[in-house]
Structure 1
């Protein structure tokens, strides 16, 4: 009887803890939304990209970075010359693993010309090898042009990272076939996980190669690491939610507890934890990963990690000849890490009291059922960071690709909701394209006008306000100032207190009382209707956009640029009144613009955010047009002083006034 009572208590505690984790890490629905949103984002790219790392897996933890793998289609990797396809338009590379450690390879150029060899290849006794080091340097320069935020970026392992360490870009190569080193994995004895269907999908997806060699190898600069990122996403996505939460807890344990010890930072990494989870999952019956056993499951994972560290053994999941912990630890840090993990294991889940994410689980009040109202606002709050990351990822050639994928591959109501959010945004990017000036006759202009207008009408459904402001900007560019003013007035009426500006949500990841109440009132609406009705995006204009005011063309000559919608609306009103020669209304709009600028500058938002700096520049442009050169110069100088990475036009505008 005592044993049964104890088991009942353990199950009850596990279920409470499971519910707490769902609320703080993410429920099954939240995780599914995050994953699907990033999948759609990847589809929308003009290049073949894969969102990997925590975000791509469905997590949004403290300090999570944004990992993107970009497949370089200029090259294609083959295992042997006999596999090379005659119709292959990419430069063929042949794997050479005879002189490398497991999980690494050299890539031999099958045929070459002087132009190709000069850039990223290096000759050795076997021929021309693609240098991972030179490859990264070339793409670092390319990334700095493509993404201004990487102008001070650095190379971190196989990735090119931004200054803040939030964005990691890894250009990689692909082999369409499953490589022979990993073939034993296919038929390895296992319990029930992964399923034959998952194994089949993984094998058909091939493998990737990232530009980093084996540390300490004499040919490190010529070696490439074999990456199974695509396969790993399939495996993570096949986890039960209990497995997934255990994986998340291990990551929290590492980042928020273990790495508080400075001398242990970097000793373990998320990839090791992922590998550990794969091995445990393969050796365990899937039915054991249940919500009422989550504490027991997590403790088993922690015990396994302790064992692996203590005996310095953690085999690579796909190529088991590679011991990831070989020579990883010295005597001192191995003893220190073992002691810490042992202490954490003895505390059980109480160890999370010292974490940031899960510190309050002991005092959390658990209701037996959560009301639809609370779950609705919690859902939006948990998925908003994902939307912040993907909303402006569409490109001008993505509309047809999105529509095709939607019609052919996505059938669920959730996928339709997310596509309903992404498509209008994509249409607005298409609208921004500048027409071909060689075909600039009246008929072409008329057709272009009608096409842009139809796209912008679709774009009105992207959010509550920014679509309307882009339409207003379109009318302004076409000198329809009264129409523009009418649309701006309507947009400003929609910009009410309950609206969620996603540009600020990145820094204040909670809904306030008014916003929460507004979400709760829409509890019966579908997700995409809630998001488009209550969220406001920043206005992004692509490079050389045809629908941005001429006064702002200088701000989009190098790359795309973003503006906060509220000051942009007042600035656009100012411009309309300026061209209508209504000076009284001009001054009134300028006063409102500067009032908004002061509010934003004291809102606690980081001053170097581009749309915040651009608000100061808008004030400067308006003052310059009104003849207040001194005040305009002060505004441009203020923006330039804070524009550490030269994102904006502030310095250029300032030099033109001196």
Structure 2
């Protein structure tokens, strides 16, 4: 085994333990990873249960679903029509109701391993599927290339094609959206995988994976006879379940491989920087675990596990063959890693191999820590690998806040009382089932979100009712729901009560709530958007239940479902966002606080309303404010412009709207902003 030649095995163990600890801090402790996964799982359960038969199902996949939160990682999403099903042979058609299910037959007879044609068997009402149909040999097939082009920009209008996905950037995050088809059966081409699973994974995992089938994504094999029509079999669902079944050391090894690819391998030369991807790293760790090349995966031999995977990768590049884990006959190097590029990549990897473990020094995430331990190994006799000793409660809590945020899938977003009832019933059923503490937290926050959305929906329904009694009852119910939501929501959730009071013209009551919220938001231990004074936070709420921590010390953005009117001044922005397929508006909590304060005082004391406007202006103009994230700058400038326009300062409003346009990535409220700019230009030209 190739290690640092001048150090003993004991020294190597120290280095392995140090890198293990560093990876825990970079990737997450086992507790953090479990929380991320369980939070995503329970959100998906709710989503699936409330999705209509003719609705759209979506699944988070890739590294985010596996539990990673690495900086710069993209977000991978998969979408499919719930009433479309792929079958592997005609005999499976009897299991489906053809009256409400579109059946599609997988025909892989002429396709390379891992790819197939999709033949449309029964009529479809989906216009994109209809438009993507082509005739071959008197049969109707769905063209992957046409379908990909048609669906690329459904989720985000500015998307571009990227492999089988539509790719877009929101703020600093890159998204990949894959529109696909689902199959309830395990593909015959991957049947050998089941027989190969002797040591890993466990039989329960195998059965779960096989029972849940696979997907088909819209991309063909460029060397196949029907590249534009073929679809690739996707095992994304199986893959995240395999990653779930890894122990923490194996998972961190996978994380180290991803970092090593990004920070070392892809930095060797421009010619080879895009030949390998994280999927190759995932494939390497899968094969290494299943073939039992490394019998013991633990902190003490952490780097030994990494080295096993690196040597496997080197072997594959030398041979020009990277066997897909589920269908080994599918060589994933076929399209890129061949010829001169393959030779160049092998030379670079072999040079790293000859350096032994010192090649890790080239990683800016890991290298400095290894250097530190090498220079101080005589003074360090013990490395503490107990995760609980090097991560604080506030870090865990910040993680819980992020992961327990509502799941903004259109299936869960409140649209009408019927759909809300379905979501609440689903949550009620889940509460009665065995849940982890983490999943209870997620359902708690989701319930809070549903309650305050329902309160405004009810108010909107009865605003123009001629029956005073109905309005009175709806008002009482709405207020009760808002109070209940605030009881187990964030500190900032009380602003929904203030919004409700403002919307129902009770300005003094709204201001009373705003003042109370101000006091809570001014506490030095407040956690907002991951920012927190750890010592003060621990001193103030350490040891309290998570529910009490939420109510006393945590604030988050104000989230408005765009199909519900929360505040009339923002109706144009919500309508614009709907046009751009954005289901929600997220508004920084302090921006909303000063906005509401300004609006309420306009009806009571204009002097104080101007003071609130100045506070809002200072907040928005502050370029590095921790209270206004980059992704929320557009709506923040927009709100400032609205206030300035209300006060009769069109020039200041015009500047704010222009700043809003500049910061809109993506342009979710562009139509509203341009309309407001047009109104100002028109009004000033007539003066």
Verify same fold: TM over 0.5.
yes
Distance in 2, matches of 1:225 and 1:606, equals 42
Give the equivalent residue in structure 1 for 2:4. none
Give the equivalent residue in structure 2 for 1:161. 167
Root-mean-square deviation (Å): 3.0
The reply on whether 1:542 has 2:549 as its aligned counterpart is: no
The reply on whether 1:133 has 2:139 as its aligned counterpart is: no
Distance in 1, matches of 2:633 and 2:617, equals 12
What is the CA distance between 1:622 and its match in structure 2?
Answer: 1.9
What is the CA distance between 1:12 and its match in structure 2?
Answer: 4.0
For the structure 1 residues 284 and 622, does the alpha-carbon distance in structure 2 shift closer, same or farther, using more than 3 Å as the test? same
Distance in 1, matches of 2:409 and 2:139, equals 44
Distance in 2, matches of 1:280 and 1:637, equals 55
What is the CA distance between 1:321 and its match in structure 2?
Answer: 1.8
Distance in 2, matches of 1:99 and 1:64, equals 36
Residue segments in structure 2 that go unaligned for 5+ positions in a row: 1-6, 374-379, 579-583, 682-687
SS in 2 for 1:213: coil
What is the CA distance between 1:571 and its match in structure 2?
Answer: 1.6
Contact 2:153/2:159, CA 8 A, preserved across alignment: no
Distance in 1, matches of 2:125 and 2:543, equals 64
Give the equivalent residue in structure 1 for 2:287. 279
The reply on whether 1:584 has 2:607 as its aligned counterpart is: yes
- Counterparts of residues 164-243 of structure 1 (less than 5 Å): 166-188=174-196, 190-243=197-250
The reply on whether 1:598 has 2:608 as its aligned counterpart is: no
SS in 2 for 1:631: helix
For the structure 1 residues 531 and 344, does the alpha-carbon distance in structure 2 shift closer, same or farther, using more than 3 Å as the test? farther
Deviates more, 1:245-254 or 1:71-80: 71-80
The reply on whether 1:87 has 2:97 as its aligned counterpart is: yes
The reply on whether 1:344 has 2:352 as its aligned counterpart is: yes
Give the equivalent residue in structure 2 for 1:445. 471
Distance in 2, matches of 1:9 and 1:405, equals 54
For the structure 1 residues 109 and 344, does the alpha-carbon distance in structure 2 shift closer, same or farther, using more than 3 Å as the test? same
Give the equivalent residue in structure 2 for 1:470. 496
The reply on whether 1:50 has 2:50 as its aligned counterpart is: no
SS in 1 for 2:369: coil
Distance in 1, matches of 2:509 and 2:628, equals 35
Say which of 589, 594, 597 aligns to 1:570. 594
Deviates more, 1:358-367 or 1:71-80: 358-367
For the structure 1 residues 439 and 161, does the alpha-carbon distance in structure 2 shift closer, same or farther, using more than 3 Å as the test? farther
Give the equivalent residue in structure 2 for 1:151. 157
SS in 2 for 1:221: coil
The reply on whether 1:379 has 2:396 as its aligned counterpart is: yes
What is the CA distance between 1:253 and its match in structure 2?
Answer: 0.8
Say which of 259, 262, 274 aligns to 1:255. 262
Contact 1:192/1:286, CA 8 A, preserved across alignment: no
Deviations 1:495-549 (Å, cap 9, x if unpaired)? Answer: 12433332xx5xxxxx46x24541465442344544554332211211242322x
- Counterparts of residues 464-543 of structure 1 (less than 5 Å): 464-496=490-522, 497-502=524-529, 505=530, 511=531, 514-519=533-538, 521-527=540-546, 529-530=548-549, 533-543=552-562
Distance in 2, matches of 1:456 and 1:219, equals 57
Distance in 2, matches of 1:32 and 1:520, equals 26
Deviates more, 1:156-165 or 1:345-354: 345-354
Contact 1:278/1:317, CA 8 A, preserved across alignment: yes
Residue-pair matches, total:
635
Deviates more, 1:553-562 or 1:110-119: 110-119
What is the CA distance between 1:245 and its match in structure 2?
Answer: 0.9
Deviates more, 1:154-163 or 1:416-425: 416-425
Say which of 314, 338, 341 aligns to 1:330. 338
What TM-score results when the alignment is normalised by the length of structure 2?
Answer: 0.85
What is the CA distance between 1:441 and its match in structure 2?
Answer: 3.7
Give the equivalent residue in structure 2 for 1:508. none
Contact 1:193/1:285, CA 8 A, preserved across alignment: no
